[in-house]
Structure 1
Amino acid sequence: MTTDTLVMPSATAAPPHAGLLRRLLVDSGYALLSLPVGIAAFVVAVTGVAVGVGTVVVWVGLAVLALTLLAARGFAALERAQLPAVLGHPVPRPAYLTPDGGRVRRLLTPLRDPQSWLDVLHAVARFPLAVLAFVVTVTFWALALGGITYGLWDWALPQEGNEDLFELLGFDGGTPLRIVGYTAIGLVAAAVLPFAVRAVALLQAQLGRVLLTSRAATQAEIGRLSRGRDAAVAAEAVALRRLERDIHDGPQQHLVRLGMDLSRAQRQLERDPAAARTTLAEAGVLAKEALEELRALSRGIAPPVLADRGLPAALAALAARSPVPVELAVDLPDERPAPVTENTAYFVVSEALANVAKHSGAGVCRVEVRRAGDVLRVVVEDDGEGGALLVPGHGLAGLADRLRAVDGVLAVDSPRGGPTRTTAELPWA
C-alpha cells in the first residue's frame, strides 16, 4: 500500500520577485547613501591630509594626520557595516594596531598602522564611484517611475510653446503617442533598473572589499596558519611524550630485564646448566614481548602496510587487531589521498579504537571512511557508555590539534549512555 503525500506551498514562503525587489531596495539605498557619506569622507580625508602634511614641520601636522586617520577609520567602519548586505556574505574586520607606550606614541599609533592609510585611500577613491552610483540610481529610478506614471500627469504639463522628445525627433502623434512612448521608455528603464543599480553598487562595494577587508582576510589566513602550526607542534609534542612513556613502560623494561636475565644465564651456565636453560627460555619470551610492543608502537606511528598498500589495507589490519569487534566500511577511489592525509586518517582511527577499547565499554564499533568531494570523511561510532568530551589535555583534544594542523576538523557526539560518534574531515589533497 502506498500513500501519496500532498505538499502544500508554505504560506510564508516569499515569491521570487520579493528577493529581487529586496535586492533592488538594498542596492538603491546603498548607492544613495554613498554620496553624502562619500562627500564627507572625501572632504575630511583630503583636507586632513593636506593640512597635516603642510604643518608637519611644526609637529602639529602629526596630530592632524592622526585625527584624520581616526576619522577615516570611522567612515571605513560604516562602509564595512554595509558591505555584507550588498555583497551577500560577511566580510572580515581588520585588526588595527593597539596604542601602547607613552602619550605621544599612543597618539601617533594610527600613523604606523597600514590599514589606517588604506582607509584614507578608500575615502578618496570611492568618491567618483559614489557620484556615479548616485547619478545612475537616481536617473534610472526617475525614468522608470516617471515613464510608467506619465499618463497620470501628462495633462498637467503646459503644451503651448513646448516640444516633447517625440516632436523633436520628427514624430507628430499628439498626446496618445507621447503617453505610449514615455510609458514604453519607463518600462524599459524599469527592466534595466535592477541590473544598472546592482552594477554600480557592486562596483563601489568591491572597492571597499579590496581596500577595507583584504588585509583582514590576509591577517585571518596568517592567524589560521599560525594556529595550525601551533596545533601541529602541540600534537607532535604530545605524541612524542606518549611514545617516550610507552617505550619506557614497555619495551625498555623488557629489554632491561632481558639484559639481566642474559647476565644471570651466563653466570649459571657452568654451575647450573638447567637453570641457565630456564633463564634463557624466559629471556626469549621477554625478547618476543619487547618485539611485539615495538611493532605495536611502530604501527601507531605509521605502519609499513599504510605506505605499501594504502589506507584500506592498513585500516583492515588495525580493525583485525582491535579487542572490540569492528565493522569496517571503506569506500575510496583508486586515487590515493595525500600522504599526510592518509597518516592522519590512520592515526584518527587508531586513537579512536584505542579509546573505545579502554573507556567506552562498547560491544561493537563501526568505522566508515569515504571521500566526499575534496574531503576525506572518517566516522568511528560505538555503542558504549558515551560521555566523551573534547577536554584540553586529553586524547581527543590532542586528536583535534593533529587534525587542525592539516586543516581538518573533529566533531564528537557522545551523550551520556551512548552512542559515541567521532567524525573527522580532512582535505583530500
Structure 2
Amino acid sequence: MPSVDDMSAATLSTVPVADPAAPRSIVRQLGVDSGYVLLGFPLALASFIVLIAGLAVGTALAVTVIGLPILAGVLYAARGFADIERLRLPPVLHQPRIRPHYRAPDPGASAWRRIFVPIADAQSWLDLAHGCLKVVVSLIAFVTTVVWWAGAIAGSLYWAYDWLLPRTPADGSLNELLGLGGSGLARIGLNTAIGVFFLVTLPIVVRGCALLQASFGRALLTGVAEMRNRITVLEEQKRAAVSAEATALRRLERDIHDGPQQRLVRLAMDLGRAQQQLGSDPEAARRTLDEALVQTRETLHELRALSRGIAPPILIDRGLPSALAALASRGVIPIELTVDSELGTPAGRLDPAVESTAYFVVAEALANVAKHSGASDCWLTVSRVDHNLRIEVLDDGVGGAHVSKGHGLAGIADRLRANGGMLSVLSPPGGPTEIRAELPC
C-alpha cells in the first residue's frame, strides 16, 4: 500500500487522463471485414440448405406426430447457426456479444412439452428467418467483396504480368476504346489506375458489405434481446432511483429531526423563558439569551453540514476535485486522494448530475470507512477510464463489508444503478476493503 503522511489529513495529487483506446487500423479492420464476408457466404449457404430442407419436411409432416419433432430440431439447428453468427458479429460491429434469453422447459417437463418449447419461442423463429434469408444478403456482399479484391489485386499488379498475356492484332483493348492509344504504356497505365481505384476504395466497400450483412444479423438475432435488456435496465434504474431518493429523504428527515429541529424547539423554549425573566430577573434573562445564541450558532452549523451533504457550494463552483479534496480534509483518518486533474478544468468538467452522484458515493464510502472499518489509513482514487468515471476507495480496516449488510453501501449501489453505474465491494474478513464504483460520464 502507498505510504501516507501522518501529519496531513488528506493529500491531493493529480494524474493525467488516460488516452482513449486507439482506433483499429484500416488494414486490420479490412482483414476482419473480409474474413467475415467471405466466410459468411458458405455458412449462409449451409444454413439455407439445412433449414429449408428441414422446414419443408417438418411442415409437410406437421399434420402427423413425426413433423413436430422435426420442426423442433430445425429450430434448434437454426439456433446453432445463429449462435455462430453472434460470435462473429462483435469484431465487425465493435459491440459486446449479446445472446437472447430463450424459453427453457420446466424442470421435469414431459418430452412433448420439451418439443413445443422452441416452437412457442419467438426468438427461435427469428433465428430460422435469419438462417433462410441470410443467403441473399451474403451473396450480394460476397460477390461485391470478391470483385473488389480481384480488381484491386489484378489492377494494381497489372504491370507485373502484362507481358505474359497473349495478344493478337485483332484484339481490342480498353485503352484503345477510350482513345488512349494502343501502346503498352497506355495499357499498363490505364489498368494500373483502375487497380489503384479498387485498392483505395477497397476498405470502404468491404466495410459497407460487412456492415450490411452484420446489420441484418443484428436486427434478427440480437435486436429483440437488446430491446429487452434495455427495458430491463431502465426498469432497474427506475427502481434504484426511487429507492435511492426515498433513502436520502428518510435520512435527511431523520437528521433534521434529530439535529436542527430539536435545537430549534429548545431555542423557542429558551426565548420564551427569557421573555418571562425580563421583568423579574434581567440577569437570568441575559444568561438564557446567551444560551439561545449558542443554540442558534450550533443550529446554523448543523444546517451547513446537512447542505454540504446535499449539494456543497464548492462542488458547483470549483468542480469535483476541489470538492473531494475538501471532503477528504475533513476525514477523521488520513486520506490520500488521487484525482484526474482535467476533471477540474472547464473543458473536462462532468455533467452536474454525474458530479453530484460521484460526490455522494465518495461521501458515503468515506463515512462507512470512518464508522465501521476500524482503519488507520484510506486511499481514494478518482479517474476517467473509457468514458466512465471510476472511483476506488481502499482502506486497511478489518474488512467484512458487504452491500447486503447496509452501512450505506446499499444506498451507494442504488444511486449508482439509477445513473447507469455499478458498485463492486471486495472486503475479506481481516481486510483490506476495496470499494470500486463505475459511473458513465
User: What TM bracket, shorter-length normalisation?
Assistant: 0.5 to 0.7
Aligned pair 1:35/2:41, yes or no? yes
Aligned residue for 1:57, secondary structure, equals coil
2:224 to 204, 215, 238: 215
Q: Which has the larger radius of gyration?
A: 1
Contact 1:144 1:189 in 2 (8 A): yes
Secondary structure of 2:37's counterpart equals helix
What aligned pairs does 1:8-407 form with structure 2 within 5 A after superposition?
Answer: 19-100=25-106, 101-160=109-168, 161-225=170-234, 306=310, 337=352, 346=360, 349-350=363-364, 352-353=366-367, 355-360=369-374, 362=376, 385-392=396-403, 393-395=405-407, 397-406=409-418, 407=420
Q: 1:108 is paired with a residue of what secondary structure?
A: helix
- Structure 1 unpaired stretches of 5+: 1-14, 252-287
Q: Which amino acid aligns with 2:363?
A: V
Say whether the 8 Å CA contact 1:344–1:402 is kept in structure 2: no
DSSP-derived class of the 1:58 partner: coil
Return the alpha-carbon distance in structure 2 between the equivalents of residues 371 and 318 of structure 1: 20
Q: Distance in 1 between matches of 2:439 and 2:181?
A: 73
- Equivalence for 1:280: none
Amino acid at match of 1:202: L
Question: How far off is 1:112 after superposition?
Answer: 1.3
What one-letter code is carried by the residue in structure 2 that aligns with 1:75? F
Report if the CA contact (8 A) 1:151-1:183 is conserved: yes
Residues 143, 186 of structure 1: 8 Å contact kept:
yes
SS in 2 for 1:182: helix
Matched-pair contact (CA < 8 Å) for 1:341–1:427 = no
Alignment check: 8 A CA contact 1:344 1:403 kept: no
Asked whether the 8 Å contact 2:78–2:127 carries over to 1, the reply is: yes
Identity across the alignment (%): 41
Query: Please, which moves more after superposition, 209-218 or 42-51?
Result: 42-51
Instruction: Work out whether residues 103 and 121 of structure 2, in 8 Å CA contact, stay in contact via their aligned partners in 1.
Output: yes
Q: Which amino acid aligns with 2:26?
A: L
Q: Is the 8 A contact 1:95 1:216 kept in 2?
A: yes
Counterpart secondary structure, 2:209: helix
Deviation at 1:130, TM superposition (A): 0.8
Equivalent residue number for residue 408 of structure 1: 421
Deviation at 1:390, TM superposition (A): 4.1
The offset of 1:342, in angstroms, is 5.6
Q: Normalising to structure 1: TM-score of the pair? A: 0.64
Distance 1:356 1:43 in 2: 67
- Post-superposition offset of 1:221: 3.0
Once the two structures are TM-superposed, the CA of residue 205 in structure 1 deviates from its matched residue by 0.9
TM-score (norm 2): 0.62
Shift of 1:230: 7.3
Q: Distance in 2 between matches of 1:30 and 1:66?
A: 29
What displacement does 1:105 show? 1.1
Question: How far, CA to CA, are the matches of 2:201 and 2:51 in structure 1?
Answer: 35
CA contact (8 A) 2:99 2:225 kept: yes
Q: Which SS does the other structure have where 2:200 is aligned?
A: helix
CA RMSD of aligned residues (A): 5.3
Residue correspondence of structure 1 range 409-424 to structure 2 within 5 A = 409-410=422-423, 424=437
How has the CA–CA distance of structure 1 residues 34 and 410 changed in structure 2, closer, same or farther, with 3 Å as cutoff? closer
Structure 1 contact 147–184 (Cα < 8 Å) conserved: yes
Q: Any conservation in 2 of the 1:349–1:380 contact (CA below 8 Å)?
A: no
**Alignment CA distance shift 1:233-1:211 (3 Å):** same
Post-superposition offset of 1:106: 0.5
Structure 1 stretches of 4+ moved >6 Å: 229-243, 302-305, 307-336, 365-381, 413-421
Q: Check the 8 A contact 1:310/1:336 in 2, yes or no.
A: no
Report the equivalent of 1:277: none
> Residue type matched to 1:409 in 2?
M
Question: Contact 1:370–1:378 (CA<8 Å) still a contact in 2?
Answer: yes
Native 8 Å contact 1:409 1:425 kept in 2: yes
| Contact 1:386–1:415 (CA under 8 A) maintained in structure 2 | no
Q: What's the CA shift for 1:240?
A: 12
Counterpart amino acid of residue 189 in structure 2:
V
8 Å Cα contact 2:400-2:430 kept in structure 1: no
Which stretch of the first structure deviates more once superposed, 314-323 or 128-137? 314-323
1:148–1:187: 8 Å Cα contact kept in structure 2? Answer: yes
